[in-house]
Structure 1
Amino acid sequence: MKTTLGPKLRFPEFRGGGGWELKQLGDFLTESRLPGSKGDVAKKITVKLWGNGVFEKNEAIQGSVNTQYFQRKAGQFIYSKLDFLNQAFGIVPASLNHFESTVDLPCFDIAEGLNSGFLLEYVKRKDFYARVGEAADGSRKARRIHAETFLSFSMGLPIPAEQQKIADCLSSLDELIAAQARKVDVLKTHKKGLMQQLFPREGETQPRLRFPEFRDAGEWESGLLGAIFGTTSGGTPNRSEASYWDGDIPWITTSLVNFEVIAGAEEYISQAGLKNSSAKLLPKGTVLIAMYGQGKTRGQVALLGVEATTNQACAAVLPKEGINPYFVFSNLAGRYDEFRKLSNSGGQENLSQALIRDFPFSYPVDEMEQQRIADCLTSLDTLITAATQELETLKTHKKGLMQQLFPSAEAVEA
């Protein structure tokens, strides 16, 4: 007797049909082990995390002559044993036909009766890979899903026509998502290019582009940040003193310093915490610079949209009368690479108050020109925010649709 199940949502033409059959992946997938080159000469492929596709792998260091690679074919399903729980799945594209990977990136021929697009969308669901990933073996940091284990997993399978319909629907959504992502990237690239024109470049004191009404307004003023603005940093109240925490004063860490206007915090401190620590209440309009932090954090900039305190990893550039805070924020946000190079000079790994105070800064004396630049960039930020929100809406829509179009993991396991 066949085990049948079904999703919550089906296309009209399939609602009167039978239920989905419960099948093992091994019923349709066969691991491919066609010998290829050795690691020193192989044309290699890699699988991006979070379902972002299969790409050519470019290595700066030549591979080992002792490592055996296997030839892969267009249309095969591929995944990473080590990054199974990070959604490293894909279908080998035609452009990478006959490229190669090791057994750590196993490939599978797909038999008739299983649509490759349907399969990819099925396994990319967290409901699937997180649950079956519990079968992974190895250490906590190096857990692997081996091919034989993967092939033993069960899935719900409709008739080929319904598989195709689901795959086409989700593929269309992917195309919309990709197009919207490109729109966001174009807007961000346009803003970055505009900022390089509206603000002086590294080593220069005057911008390449000025709005027509200010072209005869004279040169910009230049100096060091510490000579133009007041600067400070924050502190962390004693964590063991409960009365210092969960108050109503926002306490900002570098995790929130991410080229945005900060309107709230993840943690709050009390008046007692403020009084009994080196934390300082900073005014709205203060520009924050991450002096150190994980990964790309160091050198990132944010603008306080509310009064707040910070930890000691944040440098604060205090607002100054006559200089628009958003102009300062935009100027410094566009100089991330300069901050990163500065922090790495002399073998240092962090920024410091001294380095930030000695950082060069130029600005137009005319506040109307500052405002004009700020308004221009704010308008672009508004467009970027709207486009990004639309992108997130599309992603959320797809996620919700997938939850309806596929049976739940609990139903498959039942």
Structure 2
Amino acid sequence: MDNNTVTYQYLKFIGSQKLSNWSVKYLLEDVFTYNENYPLVAIKEILKRNKTQIDIQDNLNYKRATIKINNGGIFLRDITLGKNIGTKKQFRISKGQFLLSKIDARNGAFGVVPEVVDNGIITGNFWTYDVDYLKVNPHYLALITTTQQFISFCQRSSAGTTNRHYLQENLFLNEKIPLPILLEQEKLVKEYQDKLQQAEQLNNEANNFKSELDNKLGISNTKIEFNQGILKFVDFKNIEKWGLDQIFKSHTQYNGKYKTLKILDLCLVSSGGTPSRGNRSFYNGDIPWIKTGEVIDKVIYETEEKITLEAIKNSSAKLYPTGSLVVAMYGQGKTRGRTAKLGIDATTNQACAVLYKINNDIVITDYLWIYLMNEYDRLRELASGNNQPNLNADMIKNYPVVIPPFEIQTSIIDDFNTLRNFRNQKSKQAETLRTEAIADFENAIFG
């Protein structure tokens, strides 16, 4: 046979013990490898379907669960009165049961029910299973379901159209997983958790700066507690902003160790704008244009989009100088309240507040930036609005800043830079440990 000969494999032999599904497509899927020291056990040997159905009562409160895809876990969706629940036939779930979405199991939507949703409810789109914990350690079960191999089981066991690709229960339950004896399961789990604890410790070591800076600047937080149905008197001095939603938020107190000025006393504050998307000549230029999603507590040297000089002339966008500070006034998720520093001259959209022409005779720019990063949670609490709370330029302008002497500002900058390097180092080590923990577990089980 010469080197150019192509060989084909026309026959594939499958052992009878692996014939859990009489389907050519199924049988031709790659058969996973595993540690041969561990017996393979069908999932049906450890999971038994539980169909405890209940009738929803209008006058009772119910905990509703939700499952995130990609092994995101099971969470409490909400607690609501039965009259607000449209589907009156639901199923009861309990802590320790295994729960999956029959639609999104192939996307990693499953997990072990946590205590927070114990005695909660689900619809028929979710399946609940009692677990035989005499055969499987609950942490081992939770861990093995996060592996790519387990997700592959769910994908192979799902069928239907693209939008209705349901898990086929009989196929899923006949899949087999490696199941060591309980002592070995506990050993594997402990090795995994030990590395995660090391990773968590590294992260904790890197996240102590906020409380240290607050102590150094004489800042403390108090929260006025609200008990429904009880008359509450609030001292006028503790009211920063009118409105019940504002009164019962956390309140910042300054002990007067250093003077406090408003941002408007330190710099100019403005925002930007979005040039018309309908005019192509406004975009793909050479002037950086920042959106709030790019404001992530870093120096900005590059932007996803660039606009033209014509766009600036025909919109409210403004070009701000290098060294200006940017605050995200609104945005999805954790965006609101984040900050950045311009490493280039740039424009922004209207969702960004820009602090520029900072008076460095009063405050060092990097100190002001570090201070604002440290104020992230307190800045977010200022936001108003129902569906998506936002900050505005006036809130930013009137935000108080503690101004210590220059030598203190400089020492805080030095401490922060040292900490940031330390944090980056620890975060990398923590991420390496997490990756190793998962890889070590999967290698031990699947080889």
Among residues 59, 76, 91, which one is paired with 2:112 in the alignment? Answer: 91
The answer for the alignment partner of 1:334 in structure 2 is: 374
Per-residue deviation, 1:231: 1.6
Per-residue deviation, 1:185: 4.2
C-alpha contact 2:106 2:158 (8 A) present in aligned 1: no
C-alpha contact 2:293 2:335 (8 A) present in aligned 1: yes
CA distance in 1, matches of 2:280, 2:200: 44
Q: Deviations over 1:359-386 (max 9, x none)?
A: 333313x322211122223333333332
Q: Percent identity?
A: 25
Query: CA 1:237/1:69 → structure 2, altered by over 3 Å: closer, same or farther?
Result: closer
Query: CA 1:400/1:209 → structure 2, altered by over 3 Å: closer, same or farther?
Result: farther
Among residues 418, 421, 424, which one is paired with 1:379 in the alignment? Answer: 418
Q: Deviations over 1:194-252 (max 9, x none)?
A: 23223445779995597xxxxxxxx42x4332232012222234434555444554322
CA distance in 1, matches of 2:410, 2:105: 50
> Which residue identity does 1:356 align to in structure 2?
I
> Quick check: which has more Rg, 1 or 2?
2
The answer for the alignment partner of 1:236 in structure 2 is: 274
Task: Give the unaligned 5+ runs of structure 1.
Answer: 211-218, 409-414
| RMSD across aligned positions (CA) | 4.8
Does 2:119 correspond to 1:79?
Answer: no
Per-residue deviation, 1:27: 6.2
C-alpha contact 1:24 1:151 (8 A) present in aligned 2: no
The answer for the alignment partner of 1:194 in structure 2 is: 212
Residues 172-251 of structure 1: matches in 2 within 5 Å? Answer: 172-185=191-204, 187-188=206-207, 190-199=208-217, 200=219, 208=255, 219-220=258-259, 222-242=260-280, 244-251=282-289
Q: Deviations over 1:281-315 (max 9, x none)?
A: 33333221112222443333223344432212101
Moved more, 266-275 or 279-288: 266-275
> Which residue identity does 2:92 align to in structure 1?
F
CA distance in 2, matches of 1:245, 1:167: 58
The answer for the alignment partner of 2:49 in structure 1 is: 31
C-alpha contact 2:62 2:81 (8 A) present in aligned 1: no
Query: CA 1:110/1:343 → structure 2, altered by over 3 Å: closer, same or farther?
Result: closer
Among residues 317, 321, 325, which one is paired with 1:279 in the alignment? Answer: 317
Residues 301-312 of structure 1: matches in 2 within 5 Å? Answer: 301-312=339-350
> Which residue identity does 1:32 align to in structure 2?
N
Query: CA 1:333/1:7 → structure 2, altered by over 3 Å: closer, same or farther?
Result: same
TM-score of the two chains, using structure 2 as the length reference: 0.65
> Which residue identity does 1:152 align to in structure 2?
L
Larger proportion of helix? 1
Query: CA 1:299/1:33 → structure 2, altered by over 3 Å: closer, same or farther?
Result: same
Counterpart secondary structure, 1:2: helix
TM-score of the two chains, using structure 1 as the length reference: 0.69
> Which residue identity does 1:312 align to in structure 2?
Q
Count of paired positions = 383
Does 2:343 correspond to 1:320?
Answer: no
Does 2:147 correspond to 1:132?
Answer: no
CA distance in 1, matches of 2:149, 2:281: 41
Does 2:14 correspond to 1:2?
Answer: no
The answer for the alignment partner of 1:70 in structure 2 is: 92
Per-residue deviation, 1:86: 6.4
Among residues 341, 352, 369, which one is paired with 2:392 in the alignment? Answer: 352
> Which residue identity does 1:297 align to in structure 2?
T
Among residues 120, 127, 131, which one is paired with 1:106 in the alignment? Answer: 127
> Which residue identity does 2:179 align to in structure 1?
P
C-alpha contact 1:250 1:269 (8 A) present in aligned 2: yes
C-alpha contact 2:46 2:136 (8 A) present in aligned 1: yes
Larger proportion of strand? 2
